[in-house]
């Protein structure tokens, strides 16, 4: 059995009601549910929430809400792994009946079924603990700068004269989905570690949505991608 778990608590602070806020005619969470269903990989698509409105909307779009998430796992400081572990334990009698679990964030309108499928294949092929979505940095991180007392300082001054093409490429979490074995989730194994691998997404399909500025940028990106028939 393969399970998709979409964590979606109700207490978003920077963008109130973010998970169900309208994004191009649909609640934001709908995009994640639809991508999971479209992949046809999952025996169950489950939303983990503490919020009745989110639960109702999730069901309307075809997801299950077999439990309400407890308060102690619904605050601003609860990390993702315990939430997924709770959902696995709340829905499965025996851990060995689950082959793989994919956490799909509720705030990922650019998520696509084909990349979820690609990552699942990579997880099984490499026998990793996790396979997650990532993308490359647009600028060499070795040439990053910081501001100290209004003065500029390089993070890696030894690379001031290094050509960009000679610097190692770096990647970052795309914030869309995370495949993992049930054992890795339930034991709390770290995702960004040497037992993980990643599936690369093009940068134009990656946008975190944490602030109102992020939301506006996501809207602009989505409009262009929609006009170009990319999504």
Per-residue pLDDT tens digits for 152-191: 999 999 999 999 999 999 999 999 999 999 999 999 999 9
Looking at residue 123, its pLDDT comes to: 98
- Cα distances from 83 to residues 22, 103, 110, 128, 196, in angstroms, run 25, 10, 23, 21, 19
Looking at residue 184, its pLDDT comes to: 97
Tabulate helix, strand, coil % of the chain (nearest 5): 40, 20, 40
Euclidean distance between CA atoms 218 and 225, whole angstroms: 10
Residues of the chain with pLDDT under 50: none
| The pair of three-digit structure tokens given for residue 208, joined into one six-digit string | 């975190």
Domains along the chain with CATH numbers: 2-135+170-227 (3.90.550.10)
Looking at residue 57, its pLDDT comes to: 98
Looking at residue 127, its pLDDT comes to: 97
Q: 4: which strand partners?
A: 45, 102
Looking at residue 93, its pLDDT comes to: 79
What's the pTM value of the predicted model, to 2 decimals?
Answer: 0.95
Per-residue model confidence as pLDDT tens digits over 14-42: 899 999 999 999 999 999 999 999 999 99
Looking at residue 69, its pLDDT comes to: 95
Nearest to 69 by CA among 1, 3, 132, 6: 6
Euclidean distance between CA atoms 4 and 105, whole angstroms: 10
């Amino acid at each position: 059995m393969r399970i998709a778990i979409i964590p979606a608590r109700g207490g978003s602070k920077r963008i109130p009601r973010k998970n169900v806020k309208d994004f191009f005619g649909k609640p934001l969470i709908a995009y994640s549910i639809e991508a999971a269903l479209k992949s046809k990989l999952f025996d169950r698509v489950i939303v983990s929430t503490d919020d009745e409105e989110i639960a109702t909307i999730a069901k309307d779009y075809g997801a299950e809400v077999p439990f309400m998430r407890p308060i102690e796992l619904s605050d601003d400081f609860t990390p993702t792994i315990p939430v997924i572990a709770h959902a696995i334990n709340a829905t499965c009698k025996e851990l060995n009946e689950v082959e793989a679990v994919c956490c799909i964030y509720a705030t990922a309108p650019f998520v696509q079924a084909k990349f979820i499928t690609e990552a699942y294949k990579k997880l099984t092929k490499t026998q990793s603990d996790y396979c997650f979505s990532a993308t490359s940095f647009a600028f060499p991180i070795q040439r990053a700068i910081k501001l100290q007392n209004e003065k500029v300082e390089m993070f890696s001054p030894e690379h001031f004269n290094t050509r960009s093409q000679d610097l190692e490429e770096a990647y970052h979490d795309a914030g869309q989905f995370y495949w993992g074995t049930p054992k890795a989730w339930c034991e709390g194994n770290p995702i960004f570690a040497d037992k993980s691998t990643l599936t690369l997404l093009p940068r134009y399909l990656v946008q975190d949505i944490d602030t109102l500025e992020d939301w506006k940028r996501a809207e602009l990106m989505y409009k262009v991608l929609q006009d170009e028939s990319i999504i």
